[in-house]
Structures are given as structure tokens and as C-alpha cells.
Chains A and B, each alone.
Chain A
Amino acid sequence: MIEARGLGKRYGAVEALAGVTFSCKSGEVYGLLGPNGAGKTTTLRILSTAIRPTSGSATVDGVDVVSNPDEVRRRIGFLSGTTGLYGRLTAREMIRYFGRLYGMTDEAIDRRCGELFETLGMREFADRRCDKLSTGMKQKVGIARTIVHDPRVAIFDEPTAGLDVVTSRSIVDLIARCRAEGKCVILSTHNMAEARKLCDRIGIIHQGRLHAEGTAEELLRQAGVADLEEAFLKITGAGA
């Protein structure tokens, strides 16, 4: 579903990403684990077509992100931890706006809104302005916005960073639902526990390079330690 081959990104003399290769199948949750500045956000921005790679290539659902970004965008839902909302629009208007931009008809949007509001428990605040919502409600609006067009691929950049337990729980549920629906999910995190809990496979990324890849157990075995944090430090050599 997602294939990244030797992705690289240079900003002048700075190499933010130095050849990252990995893949993610449908029904699988793949996590990019690494500290701040490791290249996680850059990777996800390339996959979501926000920026172009300076080397390497990537396909999403078989479509090339550089040569055919418009097609790729139709197939992905993108949510970052810092995703904001338009405060002066209501939750429904916000979701409808993006639904329309994804080419959905108003009837299709209304139908989908009905489902999403039901499952996410958003009915009571659907017509309230976004700037009047609590953090948890806002997060739900962001989630509904991300999957309004029922994308085959979901990309989450630091989805639970800075969120409280209750709110991050709704994200965890969303990721589980996406997997159950057979979507391909890719996310980034610097939280080891979260990566272990959410992801089928984890890629350890550090200083723009992918250092190791596998299930949490495989990574622990490979590093010969019992704790993912230890494994991370050992694999990247950052602790030495």
C-alpha cells in the first residue's frame, strides 16, 4: 500500500532525510519511532505530498507521490498532532468543507457525517463553533475530518503528542478502527510505549536514517534487551 524507496530530503546543506526505505500493507499499522528532528515529520510530509523528496521515490496505493500527487491526496487521510480547526466554523461546516474538497457530494457528506458523529459521539456539539469546543471535542472533529472521505491510507503525525489520556484514547480507538477496516496506517511517535501498543511493525529512525525495522518483539530480540527504550538507544547508538 505504501512503498518508500530511498527517500531523501535536503534543505540546502542540511540533510533531513538520508535514504529511508520501508513499506506498509493494508490492514497494517506501521510506526516511525524516533526523537525530535529524526526525520519522521519529513517522511510523512513526503508521503502525504505536502513536500517533495530530493531523492528516492514513494508510492501510495500504487500511485507515485511526485508524479501524481493529486491522485495520492485523494487516497490519504492526514492528521497531525498540531492539526488546528477553523475556529469560526462549526464542526459540521469544517468536515463538510473538507468533504467537498475531496470531491464528495453534499448527500454523501451528510450520510458520512451521520455515521461519524454517531460512532465518535459528536452529535451534541456538531453544530457548535470549533473555537467553543474542548480539546477532546476538537480532536474528534479532527479525526472525523481526516476520514470523512474514507481514505485507504491514513497518515498520523505525532497523533497523541501533548494530549491527555482521555483524548489520546479516542485516537487509539481510531487507529484500531482503521486497521479493522483494512486501511493502511502509518504514524510517527517518539513515545516507545505507544509505538509498542499501536503498531504492528516499527521502524526506528534517527538522524534521517532508518536503523532497524520489525515488530516490537523482533526489535527487542535484535537488540538483546527487554525494554524498547533500551533497544532504541542500542540500535541507534544514541546512548553510547
Chain B
Amino acid sequence: MSLRNVGIVFRKELLDIARDRRTLIFMILLPIAIIPLLTLAMGKITQAGIERLQETPSKVALVGAEHAPPQLVEFLRSLDTADSMQAFFGRHLGRLDPFVQGMLMSGMERGAPPPSPADVADALEKAKRVKILEVVPWQAPDRDFNDRAAAAIADRVFDAIIIFEPGFAHAIAEGHGAKYTIVTSDAEERSAVARHKIEGFFELGGRGITHAQLARQGLSGDVLTPIRSRRLNVGREDNFLARLLPYLIILMCFSGGLYPAIDLGAGEKERGTLETLLVCPARRVELVMGKFIVVVLAAIVAALLNVASLSVTLGAGFLEIPGMALRFDAAAAVVTLLLMLPTAAIFASILLSVSIFARSFKEAQSYTIPFNFLIIIPAFFSLIPGFELTPGLALVPVLNVSMALKEIWVGTYRWDAIGLIFGSTLAYASAAVWFCASWFRRESVLFRS
């Protein structure tokens, strides 16, 4: 094999794909700019949607309000705006029922002192908004109640219905056994949000009652939590980033090599340049190696660019994400590269073999789809929590590298396993390259018609 010829082919192919705008877009621009932007934008949009739902007053109907303490009903009705709540406080401050006080003050861990004006202002600010639209007297639910309720929620008349059962006020006064029903349609997001808000209020209200009872008996709220646990994790934490990144780096490596491989193989057939190239004095293996190195390079560059930009997106630097700290030092970088190079070589060989077999660009694209799945499945194992690398699994291509990267990036180096993985991956890569080179010598592959 003449290295000169390999170099000639390599330089030409590199120049060729570097001039391709599609390469620049798919390999460089997309990962470093669009993926982070998209992630950020999606996050912002999702967050904005949730916030909007939380801030929009949920529309609620009260059934059987006559069974509830008047102050509770008045409080619920005041939840609509900050002004109406302010008015409610003006009327009742100093004479708040314990459950209403509890509903407002989530921080009532130690007894229930009357809230200060600052507490009130804070509570007004943070209170979840609910708008009581309709109050109807209690009646026993009839047969088609559920259907009517579902229709009303679907038609956006209400988001939720609160039903106070008979005896509710009495049970509240007793301090136990008060029951209410919350009717929602959880299929509607706004209805589910309304349920969360209302359940939150009543949960806190219940706590307010308990605290008041304890205070009457001269006990502090601490008796409610006789045992408290404190976590002290001295080992490594489950690290989501360490599980996600190996999967991503392997996937990006494959897709980074995809386009150049198709261009360098099927592209020659489509342009009608293959025959000319095949009858020039450079040997087949030299042509393959020149192309192969370009594809490996593209795959590695794409993987690194993707991971770098994703890391930045996920938390501005590898080392500063709380709970996601990765030990990505020089040793990790070297071992990562050592493991990824033969992996990229396997991918490049597969992709080039598929590509040169295909008669056109389009055909090559569809032939590579099954291989995509073949890579995704073993790569995915890094994402499974608690899945451990065994000596047998260390021989499974792609899966082994994915698992090894996960360990390396949190600082665990099992050199025997790493050696085994590197060795086996190198062996697979050599076999794949050999196959690819011999594939390029087959007439039935090169001249399909």
C-alpha cells in the first residue's frame, strides 16, 4: 500500500467535503449552534407554558358551600386577585381560622402565630390563583353527573369542581374526618393544574389544623416528625449526564460519518466518477483507506463538536453542574479518544461498505437506516441506571464503549475492562476495515445494475 496515494485521496476527499455546504451545515453549524438554541428555546417555551397555567386563575365551581365554614368559602372566593385577597385579610387578620391560616402559610412548621403583614404580603404574592365562578347548593350526584362534569370541563366552563360533603364544617371543628371531593378531568392539562392547586391548599389547611391542636396541648409541630433523615452520600452520585453523554457521543459519531460516507461512496457512482477512479493506477485498498480516514475524521469531529456544545448547553462547563459533575480531565479525554477512534473506524467501514454498494445517494440513505437502529440499541445501555459492565459485555461492540465512557467520566478507571474493551473494539474495527477494503474489490458491488 502506497501511503502517498492514500494521502492524495485523503486530501482530495477532505477538500471536496469541506467545500460542501451541506457538510458544513449538518456537521458543524447544526451541532454547535442549532442544538443548544433549540434545547434552550424548547425549555423556555415549556417553562413559559407551565408558568402561564399556574398563573391563570383556575375556574372552579363550589358545590355544597353551605357545608363548609364561611371563612373557608370566603377565602376561596378571594383567591382570584391580589386585591380581593388583601380585602379578605383586612377583614380577618387576627381572627383567621387555623385551617385558612395553614392554607396561606406553608412555612408553619412551629405552631401557628398570627401572620405578620410581611408574611401576608409574601403569601399574596405567591398564592396560586383560583377563581370561584359558581356556587351551588349540595345535591346528591345523579346518574349523569360525571358526563355533565366532563362536558363542562371540556367546554372550558370550569377547570375543576369542589364538592363539600354534608358535615364538612362540623368535622373541621372536630379536627378530623372532613371530606371534600375534587372533580377534574386529568386529560385536560389546565384541569390537572387546578387539582394540584386546590389539593395543595387543603393539604396545608389540614396541617394548620393539626398545628393548632398541638399548640392547644402545649406541643410543638416537631412532634409530627419524630424521625428525620439526613443524607450523606460519600460515593459517586447517580449521574444523568454521565449516562446520557456516551449514548449521544456514539450516536453523533455515527451520524457525523454518515453524510461524508454516502458522498464518498454512492456519490462517486452517482456522479459517474467511480469507473475512472477504479482504473487509475492507485490500488483499491489505497482508495478505500483515503476515503476511510476522511470518514473517521468527520465522525470524530462531529462527535466531539456535538458533545462539547451539548455540555455547554446543559450547564456551562463540565465541572460546575451540581449533581452532574463529570471528571472530564486529560486522562478521560485520552481514554475517550482511544475508545472512540476504533468505534469510529467500525462505523466508517460499515457506512462506506453500505455506501459503495448503493447505486445512488438516495439508495445509500435508505440502506443506512437499519444500521442506525443497530447502533442506537447497544449505545442506549449507558442510559440504563444500575446496568453493570461484565467481562462478557465488554466484548459486545458499541455497548462496551458506551458503558466504559460512562464510568470513565465519573472518574472510575477499571483498566482491565478498559483494556479488554479497547482490544476487542480494535479487533472489530480491523475486521470491519478489512471487510470494507475487500468489498471495494468486488465487481458485483462496484458495478451493480
Contacts and interface: CB of A to CB of B under 8 A. Distances in A.
Nearest to A77: B279
B276 A86 contact: no
Contacts of A49: 279
Interface string B51-68: 000000000000000000
A87 B17 CA distance: 11
The number of chain B residues touching the other chain, given as a range, is 20 to 34
A51 B447 CA distance: 9
A51 B273 CA distance: 16
A50 interface: yes
Contacts of A86: 12, 16, 271, 273
Given A50-B447, A88-B20, A101 B280 contact: yes
Contacts of A82: 272
Contacts of A84: 270-273
A4 interface: no
A186 to B, nearest CB: 13
A145 interface: yes
Contacts of A93: 12, 15
A145 to B, nearest CB: 7
Given A73-B281, A102-B281, A89 B276 contact: no
Contact of A98 (B270, B278, B280): B280
Contacts of B282: 101
A67 B41 CA distance: 63
B165 to A, nearest CB: 77
Contacts of B213: none
Given A101-B5, A101-B8, A78 B20 contact: no
Interface string A62-100: 000000001001101011101111111100010001101
A29 to B, nearest CB: 20
Nearest to B8: A100
A174 B137 CA distance: 102
B279 A88 contact: no
A76 B272 contact: no
Interface in B202-255: none
A153 to B, nearest CB: 11
A100 B9 CA distance: 9
B204 to A, nearest CB: 67
B275 interface: yes
A20 B266 CA distance: 32
B312 to A, nearest CB: 31
B8 A97 contact: yes
A150 to B, nearest CB: 14
Contacts of B277: 101
Contacts of B446: 50
A152 to B, nearest CB: 14
A86 B15 CA distance: 11
Nearest to A71: B281
B447 A145 contact: no
B283 interface: yes
Nearest to A42: B447
A102 B280 contact: yes
A188 interface: no
B142 interface: no
B443 A51 contact: yes
Contact of A88 (B16, B276, B283): B16
A103 interface: yes
B281 A83 contact: no
A95 B64 CA distance: 91
Contacts of A85: 271, 273
B272 A83 contact: yes
A140 interface: no
Interface string B1-17: 00001001100100110
Nearest to B5: A101
B281 A89 contact: no
B281 A70 contact: yes
A48 interface: yes
A92 B15 CA distance: 14
B269 to A, nearest CB: 9
- Residue from A78, A83, A88, A93 whose CB has the most chain B CB atoms within 10 Å: A88
Contacts of A79: 276
A51 B16 CA distance: 27
A83 B275 CA distance: 8
Contacts of B279: 48-50, 73, 76, 78
Interface of A: 45, 48-52, 70, 73-74, 76, 78-80, 82-89, 93, 97-98, 100-103, 145
24 contacts: A45-B275, A45-B447, A49-B279, A50-B275, A50-B446, A50-B447, A51-B443, A70-B281, A73-B280, A80-B275, A82-B272, A83-B272, A83-B273, A83-B276, A84-B270, A84-B273, A86-B273, A97-B8, A97-B12, A98-B280, A101-B5, A101-B281, A101-B282, A145-B276
Given A84-B273, A98-B280, 17 more contacts: A50-B278, A70-B281, A70-B283, A78-B276, A79-B276, A80-B276, A83-B272, A84-B271, A86-B16, A88-B16, A88-B19, A88-B20, A89-B12, A97-B12, A101-B281, A101-B282, A102-B281
